[in-house]
Amino acid sequence: MPIIVNLDVMMAKRKMSLNELSEKVDLTLSNLSILKTGKAKAVRFSTLEAICKVLDCQPGDILEFVD
């Protein structure tokens, strides 16, 4: 898939665990893990917005297009 999810990179930069992000974004650990591993088929804008707020980043910091 040409969309790369760099969620783990941003979490590492912010020194935040998956459990901590899961609680702050109010997503289940399993759903967040699916997104983090790039196995998600879609992501809601509201979810992306919440992740960006918690990690203090832009959507482009998390999602990357690679042809």
pTM passes above 0.75: yes
C-beta separation of 8 from 64 below 8 A: no
Residue 59 C-alpha from the chain's centroid: 9
User: What average pLDDT does range 36-60 have in this prediction?
Assistant: 95
Beta bridge partners of 3: 65
Mean pLDDT of the chain: 95
Give me the residue label for tokens 């999810």.
5
Domains of the chain: 3-65 (1.10.260.40)
C-beta separation of 35 from 7 below 8 A: yes
User: What average pLDDT does range 41-59 have in this prediction?
Assistant: 96
Nearest to 55 by CA among 30, 18, 29, 28: 18
pLDDT in tens, 13-22: 999 999 999 9
